[in-house]
Structure 1
Amino acid sequence: MRFSRRHRARATGDESVLPLTNVVFLLLIFFMLAGRITGPQPFEINPPRSASDAAADAGSIEVQIAAGGALALDGRPITLDALAEAVRREIDTRPDAPLRLKADGTGEATRVVAVMQALRKAGADKLRLITVAAANP
């Protein structure tokens, strides 16, 4: 028994690109769902190294100090004079939210101490210093 060969029509350009387009869109959706969405940082901060492996808390009140001394509260630039009142309002609004301090490791320690004093005036009784885990030798 002999079967006749029929010539299959070649796929047009649109049909051959369709599977590739599907894969690209699936990858795009995957990375959109799997990626972590964070707001833009007002300045770059390189925190000091630490031996601790504890992860930072999400939904916390975060004060950032740049190497040059610039301050930000939850990603918004702020002055040292306005920091205490703004943190007091945040603590009143979210009393259970942890307060985190993320300072650049190359910044001046006196600036960090001044910020910590302002946070104490605002009523902060617990403060978490954010560090980066040290690389294993």
Structure 2
Amino acid sequence: MRIPDPAPPRTRSGNLLPMINVVFLLLIFFLISAEMTPPQPLEVAPPETATDAPRPEAAGLLRLFVDAEGQLGFQAARGPAALDALARARAAQCAETDCTEAPPQLRLHADAALAAATLADLLGKLGAMGFAKVDLITREARP
């Protein structure tokens, strides 16, 4: 009687496809849930304040940056063109929503070394553009 040779043992290899699917699903989840903010157009060191009250985030928030020399930055625009870009962004927001009921919010990121006269001049220009309220961003004073 002839006994057949036993078949070589089959190696059991794990299927990696489910693990790859889970990794990609986690990657997609973290990319979607992450809050991505655009980079600041200018490097600004905000002035210090005694208390740092929390500022609620709002949809359609506009951010204007001013460095120590008075150079303006809004999104990709620099210098005097930043005010024009800000005016266009405000007009676009007012076209979408009623600006009399909910005026656009402007956050001003001004450097602590900025001259007060330059800041006052800028606030006058922003008021003429229709910004009734401008939030000056500060940082909490360190003891």
Task: Name the counterpart of 2:58.
Answer: 57
Contact kept in structure 2, 1:80 and 1:118, CA below 8 Å: no
Q: Which letter maps to 2:30?
A: F
Shift of 1:32: 0.6
Q: Distance in 1 between matches of 2:18 and 2:48?
A: 47
1:97 to 95, 104, 109: 104
Q: Distance in 1 between matches of 2:82 and 2:42?
A: 19
Shift of 1:136: 8.3
Task: Name the counterpart of 1:67.
Answer: 68
Contact kept in structure 2, 1:62 and 1:100, CA below 8 Å: yes
Matches within 5 A, 1:29-68: 29-50=28-49, 51=51, 52-68=53-69
| Alignment of 1:9 onto 2:11 | yes
Task: Name the counterpart of 2:3.
Answer: none
The CA RMSD over aligned residues, in Å, is: 3.1
Matches within 5 A, 1:104-115: 104-115=111-122
- Equivalent residue of 2:107, what SS? strand
Distance 1:131 1:39, change over 3 A: same
Moved over 6 A (4+): none
- Can you give the 5+ residue segments of structure 2 that lack an aligned partner in the other structure? 1-8
| Number of matched pairs | 125
- Can you give the 5+ residue segments of structure 1 that lack an aligned partner in the other structure? 1-6
Q: Which letter maps to 1:77?
A: A
* Identity rate, percent: 35
Task: Name the counterpart of 1:3.
Answer: none
Shift of 1:66: 2.2
Task: Name the counterpart of 1:77.
Answer: 77
Q: Normalised by the size of structure 1, how large is the TM-score?
A: 0.67
Q: Distance in 2 between matches of 1:81 and 1:33?
A: 33
